[in-house]
Structure 1
């Protein structure tokens, strides 16, 4: 070490001085040299102690660093696990709605009916990956494919819940998603009308939806019955169209559609002889339902409110008569934010074999086909996701295949979304 070399130099210098000194100072020099030697020995001993202490401290520091690294790694792993748990929880979401309804029905030849009804729906949706969604939902009501309403009464009995949704949705292709299972109808009728499909109907099968913002095309393959022992019945539905902006506030959407339901010679789906207005012969369907469709809607601003006019037309290629249906309507306003409202008026004429009555609007004309008349409706948003609504049907029914009768229905709703 440099320090030891310094010690030797000092000692050599001291010896040289002693030799060079006169005899009178010899004793004094020797004493000084002896004292320096003792001090150097003490300093050397202290340095050895410091070196030993430093080595011990280095070992202790290394042990502390290793323990700290281990603790940090454990904390990081614990944090990752916590983040993973939070991320999984965040991938789950609930959605649903509840509706309370008072309903009055006045049908010619029958007593008037007053009833209170509820509809409750809830679904749990998991975003499994960025491009994959899986959902399961329950709804009130019976096994009616076009209604989740549950009539109150029956002495306060408990009410049924049924499987309403069970599906996957994959969006791994550009502008496209593929759905399989029991799912919400992805077709978007103009003016949200129910000329062909009730809004509660859930197709069961697969669907492909493509939309690039300007053009769209949708296809559904659905099973009305998939058990071959009972006579399987597969149907397909397709539509394609375009949308465009007109000036600053205008928009236009139009398209064509087609569908095919193989029902000729088949008994009623519920086995009760009810064909929902369609023609039957010998207790089986008389026709298939091979419809062609055209639809359009125009949106604009009126009195600084959104306005909409729409029309939908269908014709069954397999029927010999009573094969046409249409609806035309207008709407003003939008009941979304608190204090906003909307009003709508439409006229619908759906002949007996224009569409498959099993899936059409369950409220217009009492459900099914062979009905025509007015639909008047309005909504008021009490607050966001809470609205009051009225719908009034003034219809004539059974004019094609029976004796025409008057039908009126008033519905007062209070609805909540979550």
Structure 2
């Protein structure tokens, strides 16, 4: 195999011959050897490394010396005239340029193959991968009113650790209860996320993101520090494949970021969706564009082997979320922009079912509706006892009643969102935001019928349901920037929320306001300030109380340092 240096030297020699009759190239201390001058020019242009150039110069000078010793003929073909004059063959400029292009292509090809002309260049696959991430350090304090009821059941823990015997004649322990009076001060918390995105082909992208989290709950990737300095958990936060058949349409599947325009009264900012979504964005004209999303998302699959130690297995009862949204973005003028969307969400089979008669006290391993309890819940939704337990004839009053709870209301949501961004004088910016949600499927009579009168919460002393089907939020943000990117960026924000108990499922919204869930109302305010590029501080105060039921007031203070890369 021939040495690539020899091939390169020959090519450079040809270029020198072609340019010998052309104008000289200005160069500090030029050499008499045109090849040497060209090599130096390639070094200046960054095509060659200096060590490679030194080797080529040495070889070019050596070969030139050998050529002069072998023959005194000039490099370019010459022909003696009859009168003794020497005629030099003229090489046209277009030919010289063609030779230059061919030599440059050969040099770059050799450099790329042997990785010596650009040592910091990554291989092709690495150029198609990008990384991003963020880290948030938070100090959090939670304050509870002394007048709060201390008898509020933690139904999420009851379902997770249960069943719990609700018969006071056979049970001597209290159900799991929420902390409602003891403050929690100065909790140091961390959220870290790191993502990778790969451009597989022209229209195909795959992505993976990992994140912290104290457990696998879907609404928060924040984790408490401490715990005896134990190592912290990492979870698969996202994992998806996207295909864009056109620049206006993207189809995604896997565990994906929230594809809908929404606020955190419905979906937490940390919530990701398992399933499939199609997203489109279509400009109408210079000032107006339409966007939309349709998707199907499995919320919960029933256990194939439930009940595991019983001969009879439970029917498949899969829970799904179906969503469709249509919106528009309108640039009203140079200083005002409007974005709005209407969405419909249907949660299929998310409600609980009352079981057929069963007898756990007689050794029956479970009841046939146990799998209809929600996989994850926070608090607020109206619930009922799932099991229809037959009394023990030998001792009916003391028959144990080990129970799970299920959701009483169906959910078909109408979700309306509006955001108005305005540029004000003195470089101020104002964002006005509103969100309204109505549960079209809310029906107190159906809830009572579904529960067979066994409601577990949200009822008054007369057994009447105290609930509602509406939620809404308004928020205003004012500052010199709405998105924190640079040092010195700042803004202030304030808003109000009201979320009635059955306006939406309580398992998917923000876990900070009222510490998550529904049946809450109150205000929030705070501010952001850019400490450096991609580093900003946040202070936030959230004050809430229940809409219906026993007193339960919670104030939350959060102080954060946020970074992104």
TM-score normalised according to structure 2 size: 0.58
Select the structure that is richer in strand.
1
Deviation at 1:336, TM superposition (A): 2.2
Give the Å deviation of 1:319: 1.5
What is the number of equivalent residue pairs in this alignment?
342
Offset at residue 301 of structure 1 (A)? 1.6
Deviation string 1:19-43 (CA, Å, 9 cap, x unpaired) is xxxxxxxxxxxxxxxxxxxxxxxxx
Please give the alpha-carbon distance, in whole angstroms, between the structure 2 residues aligned to 1:226 and 1:80.
52
Matching residue of 2:276: 206
Structure 1 contact 380–389 (Cα < 8 Å) conserved: yes
List per-residue Cα deviations over 1:343-400 (Å, max 9, x = no partner). 1111110111101110011111110111111010210011111000011101112x32
Aligned partner of 1:405 among 552, 561, 565: 552
Q: What does residue 215 of structure 1 align with?
A: 290
Structure 1 range deviating more: 298-307 or 276-285: 298-307
What is the aligned counterpart of 1:388 among 537, 558, 564? 537
> Is the 1:312–1:328 Cα contact (8 Å) retained in structure 2?
yes
In structure 2, the gaps of 5 or more residues are: 1-104, 149-180, 284-288, 305-315, 353-371, 386-404, 444-466
Deviation at 1:81, TM superposition (A): 7.8
CA contact (8 A) 1:268 1:275 kept: no
SS of residue matched to 2:531: strand
> Comparing both structures, which one devotes a greater share of its residues to helix?
1
1:275–1:285 Cα contact (<8 Å) kept: no
Asked if 1:268 is matched to 2:374, the reply is: yes
| Structure 1 residue runs without a partner (length 5+) | 1-71
- Give the corresponding residue for 1:312: 435
1:119 to 168, 191, 199: 191
2:323 paired with 1:237: yes
Instruction: Quickly say closer, same or farther: Cα 1:261–1:81, change in 2 above 3 A.
Output: farther
Name the CA shift for 1:96/1:247 in 2 (closer, same or farther; >3 Å). same
Residue matched to 1:258: 344
Equivalent residue number for residue 330 of structure 1: 476
Give the conservation status (yes or no) of the 8 Å contact 1:358–1:368.
Answer: yes
The runs of 4+ residues in structure 1 deviating greater than 2 Å are 72-87, 226-231
Query: For 1:172-191, what aligned pairs fall within 5 Å after superposition?
Result: 172-189=245-262
1:79 to 98, 112, 116: 112
Residue 128 of structure 1 pairs with residue 200 of structure 2: yes
Contact 2:535–2:562 (Cα < 8 Å) also in 1 = yes
8 Å contact 2:378–2:516 — kept in the other structure?
Answer: no
Distance in structure 1 (CA, Å) of the matches to 2:409 and 2:235: 31
Structure 1 contact 242–253 (Cα < 8 Å) conserved: yes
Q: Which residue of 1 aligns with 2:382?
A: 279
Q: Root-mean-square deviation (CA), in Å?
A: 2.3
Q: Alpha-carbon deviation of 1:255?
A: 2.1
Displacement of 1:73 in angstroms is 8.4
Q: Aligned in 2, Cα 1:87/1:393: closer, same or farther, shift over 3 Å?
A: same
1:209 is displaced (CA, Å) by 0.6
Distance (whole Å) between structure 2 residues aligned to residue 375 and residue 209 of structure 1: 32
2-side partners of 1:286 and 1:132: how far apart?
42
Aligned to 1:102: 139
Deviation at 1:228, TM superposition (A): 6.0
| Residue equivalent to 1:416 | 563
Q: If you compute each CA radius of gyration, which structure gives the higher value, 1 or 2?
A: 1
CA distance in 2, matches of 1:164, 1:327: 27
Aligned-partner Cα distance in 1 for 2:217–2:193: 15
